[in-house]
């Protein structure tokens, strides 16, 4: 059956309407970028990945004035990382855990270490430990050290508020001139000691 | 402003007068340059560590809990910077560092024997382990008590005493031939 | 012998530091944001206020006075010990979305004319009315705005053009766009 010209145009408009699931994307992206981004989002949805982070990534790119190709690549890379994150964290990972894990992967944390963190954390969500890990690496703590420190804390049952306090203390020490590795390992010793028994931590 | 106490100057800086920070720079630079030089063994690293310490002190100035003791707080930052820079330098550069010290000393206008003795001390100091050198400098050159050193470094008093003792033994060993010559 | 050695080592560095040393330090100092009158005032007064809730700090979203950014870290200690945290466990994977929490964002930007908060909670829209910071004096800008429970990335936009990560919040390096954003985990208030 051949479609008349007007039918094709109508179908295209219909397609755009259907595909523009988030109206903000249509308002901020040009057509080719919109189509490509929505395709990535649809594919992510089929894979049962959270789609909101992909929309957010595209909106961020638009807000930062990035060109279409950069936005498409960023959204695609994020969806790949989220896929890896979800596999590493196992099927019951929450959207927040997947988001945080994708950020950790972006700074160089390995998929294997995501899985180790999940195993080390038991029933505790890993969102906050992952955000702390991402921050440590951003503060120039070597990835291996940062990962080992966070794993140790998770294994010993350190909870989110203590993780956050640990991150804050390491940041303050680095601002005061401390070497990032020394700051992270020293503060981790303190956090572990406080978490274990109420004895005075030794240097 | 030059005669004002540390506390007064810190308060001025925190109120927005960044320029007056130079008074603190002038006040502490030479004394702390001495520590940084002996700790790191060369002038370039010492200046880098000291400059870094001053800029970090400025940035974190509102966290200085006792502005009247700004100098001590700055010194703690410098000790940390020297540790960081020192560990990055590593063993490989040590020969170069010692040579540089010799070159610097040779340029000075001192009697030859005093020059040689000073050279030997500097060389021997650089052969100590970093933690022993730090403890020795804090005790003997900066004239600190062990409690103060412990607060500054986070190391226990008995560990510090051990480090100082080992540093002294090693320096005696390295320098006794020269000294008795 | 130790006294002899110590005497030698106590001698001032000779030759002294290079003449340009002071100049280099002051040049670095001038490049940094100035401290402000307001920060000094906020250090001296109590009670203090919670700023952004990067990862914890109990969500005293409804609270108190304003922190200066630099004083924030010490202030968090006070807040943590003095107040009962509202924090609960991280939000579980529930299908029912929790109500957004009110979160205060603070940025010290003495030369700014306009500061907005952008993030994945408002579509990174620097024009969003609820996320425009107000100038409180002394270069301190703040806004308390709704942020859904969960993990978010955000940044500040100064004068509609300069993006600034929150210096007090955990950093999220973003290699896709070559930038650094800030992370915040908002927890449900009991």
Q: Domain with C138 in it: what CATH number?
A: 2.60.40.10
Q: What are residue C140's phi and psi, to 5 degrees? A: -95, 125
Query: Which of A176, A182, A203 minimises the CB distance to B77?
Result: A176
Interface with chain C: mutation pick from B45, B58, B111, highest number of C CBs within 10 Å: B58
Neighbours of A170 (CB within 10 A): 27
Q: Measured between beta carbons, which residues in chain A are less than 8 angstroms from residue B60?
A: 175-176
Does the ipTM surpass 0.95?
no
Question: Does the pTM exceed 0.90?
Answer: no
User: Could you please report the per-residue DSSP string of B156-171?
Assistant: -HHHHHHHHHHHHHHH
The verdict on a CB contact (< 8 Å) between C172 and A94 is no
Q: CA A139, A135, A48 angle in degrees (round to 5)?
A: 150
What percentage of residues in chain A have a pLDDT greater than 70? Answer: 86
Q: Domains (ranges, CATH) in chain B?
A: 1-89 (1.10.1740.10)
CA torsion sign for C112, C118, C122, C124 is positive
Distance in angstroms between the alpha carbons of the first and the last residue of chain C = 68
pLDDT of residue B3: 77
Token pair listed for C78: 């006070």
B105 or A153, which is more confident: A153
Token pair listed for B63: 């966290």
Does residue C11 belong to any structural domain of this protein?
no
**Burial state string for C81-117 with b = 16 or more CB within 10 A and e = fewer than 16:** eeeeebbeebbeeeeeeeeebebbbbbbbeebeebbb
Give residue for tokens 């700004």.
B70
| Domain around C54 | 23-92+103-186
* Per-residue pLDDT band at B120 (split at 50, 70, 90): confident
What is the maximal distance between C-alpha atoms in chain C? 76
Does residue C33 belong to any structural domain of this protein?
yes
pLDDT tens track for B34-89: 999 999 988 888 898 999 999 999 999 988 888 888 998 999 999 999 988 877 66
* Per-residue pLDDT band at A1 (split at 50, 70, 90): low
CA torsion sign for B79, B83, B89, B92 is positive
pLDDT of residue C3: 85
Give, as one character, the DSSP assignment of residue C129. G
Q: What are residue A32's phi and psi, to 5 degrees? A: -60, -40
pLDDT of residue C106: 92
**Chain C neighbors (3+ CB pairs < 8 Å):** A, B
pLDDT tens track for A11-60: 655 555 455 468 889 989 999 999 999 999 999 999 999 999 999 999 99
Q: How many helices (H) and strands (E) does chain A have?
A: 11, 0
Q: Tell me, yes or no, if B63 comes closer than 8 A to chain C by beta carbon.
A: yes
The verdict on a CB contact (< 8 Å) between B159 and A203 is yes
Q: Measured between beta carbons, which residues in chain C are less than 8 angstroms from residue B26?
A: 22
Nearest chain B residue (CA) to C41 = B15
From CA C149, how far away is CA B105, in angstroms rounded? 64
Token pair listed for B104: 């610097």
The verdict on a CB contact (< 8 Å) between C93 and A100 is no
Q: Tell me, yes or no, if B160 comes closer than 8 A to chain A by beta carbon.
A: no
Q: Tell me, yes or no, if A53 comes closer than 8 A to chain C by beta carbon.
A: yes
Contacts of C137 (CB under 8 A, 6+ apart): C38
Number of domain units in chain C: 1
User: Could you please report the per-residue DSSP string of C11-55?
Assistant: SPPSS-S-TTHHHHHHHHHHHSPPP-HHHHHHHHSSS------SS
* Per-residue pLDDT band at C56 (split at 50, 70, 90): very low
pLDDT of residue B57: 94
Instruction: Kindly report the average pLDDT of chain B as a whole number.
Output: 82
Does residue C16 belong to any structural domain of this protein?
no
Token pair listed for A70: 């950069």
Nearest chain A residue (CA) to B87 = A179
**Chain B neighbors (3+ CB pairs < 8 Å):** A, C
pLDDT of residue A14: 53
pLDDT of residue C86: 32
Q: Tell me, yes or no, if C128 comes closer than 8 A to chain A by beta carbon.
A: no
Measuring CA to CA, how many Å separate C48 from each of A171, B131, C23, C60, C135? Answer: 20, 40, 37, 11, 18
Mean pLDDT confidence for B16-27: 91
Q: Measured between beta carbons, which residues in chain B are less than 8 angstroms from residue C37?
A: 15-16
Residue B125 has pLDDT above 80, yes or no: yes
Q: Tell me, yes or no, if C186 comes closer than 8 A to chain A by beta carbon.
A: no
């Amino acid at each position: 059956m051949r479609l008349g010209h007007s039918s094709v145009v109508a179908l295209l408009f219909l397609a755009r309407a259907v595909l523009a699931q988030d109206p903000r994307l249509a308002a901020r992206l040009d057509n080719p970028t919109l189509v490509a981004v929505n395709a990535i989002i649809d594919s992510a949805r089929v894979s049962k990945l959270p789609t909101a982070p992909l929309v957010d990534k595209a909106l961020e790119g638009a807000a930062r004035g990035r060109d279409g190709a950069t936005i498409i690549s960023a959204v695609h890379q994020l969806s790949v990382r989220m896929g890896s994150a979800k596999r590493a964290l196992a099927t019951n990972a929450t959207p927040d855990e997947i988001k945080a894990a994708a950020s950790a992967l972006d700074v160089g944390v390995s998929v294997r270490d995501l899985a180790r963190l999940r195993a080390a954390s038991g029933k505790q969500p890993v969102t906050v430990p992952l955000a702390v890990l991402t921050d440590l690496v951003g503060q120039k703590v070597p990835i291996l050290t940062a990962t080992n420190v966070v794993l140790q804390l998770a294994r010993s049952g350190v909870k989110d508020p203590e993780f956050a306090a640990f991150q804050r203390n390491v940041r303050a020490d680095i601002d005061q001139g401390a070497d990032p590795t020394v700051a992270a390992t020293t503060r981790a010793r303190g956090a572990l000691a406080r978490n274990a028994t109420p004895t005075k931590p030794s240097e | 402003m030059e005669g004002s106490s540390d506390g007064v100057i810190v308060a001025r800086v925190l109120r927005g007068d960044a320029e007056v920070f130079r008074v603190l720079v002038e006040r502490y630079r030479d004394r702390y340059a001495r520590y940084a030089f002996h700790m790191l063994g060369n002038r370039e690293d010492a200046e880098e560590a000291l400059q870094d310490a001053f800029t970090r002190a400025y940035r974190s100035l509102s966290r200085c809990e006792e502005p009247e003791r700004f100098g001590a707080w700055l010194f703690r930052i410098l000790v940390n910077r020297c540790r960081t820079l020192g560990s990055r330098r590593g063993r490989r550069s040590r020969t170069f560092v010692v040579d540089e010290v010799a070159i610097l000393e040779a340029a000075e206008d001192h009697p030859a024997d005093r020059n040689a003795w000073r050279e030997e001390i500097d060389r021997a100091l650089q052969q100590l382990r970093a933690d022993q050198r730090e403890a020795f400098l804090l005790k003997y050159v900066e004239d600190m008590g062990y409690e103060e050193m412990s607060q500054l470094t986070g190391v226990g008093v008995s560990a510090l005493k051990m480090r100082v003792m080992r540093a002294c033994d090693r320096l005696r060993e390295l320098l006794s031939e020269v000294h008795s010559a | 012998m130790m006294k002899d050695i110590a005497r030698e080592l106590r001698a001032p560095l000779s030759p002294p530091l290079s003449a340009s040393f002071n100049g280099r330090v002051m040049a670095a100092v001038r490049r940094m944001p100035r401290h402000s009158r307001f920060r000094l005032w906020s250090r001296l007064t109590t009670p203090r206020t919670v700023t952004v809730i990067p990862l914890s700090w109990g969500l005293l979203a409804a609270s108190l006075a304003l922190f200066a950014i630099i004083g924030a870290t010490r202030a968090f200690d006070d807040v943590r010990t003095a107040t009962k945290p509202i924090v609960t466990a991280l939000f579980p994977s529930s299908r029912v979305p929790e109500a957004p929490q009110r979160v205060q964002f603070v940025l010290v930007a003495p030369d700014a004319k306009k500061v907005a908060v952008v993030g994945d909670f408002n579509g990174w829209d620097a024009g969003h009315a609820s996320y425009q910071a107000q100038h409180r004096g002394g270069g301190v800008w703040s806004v308390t705005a709704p942020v859904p429970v969960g993990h978010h990335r955000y940044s500040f936009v100064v004068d509609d053009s300069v993006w600034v990560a929150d210096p007090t919040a955990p950093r999220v390096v973003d290699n896709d766009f070559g930038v650094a954003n800030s992370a915040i985990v908002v927890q449900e208030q009991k």
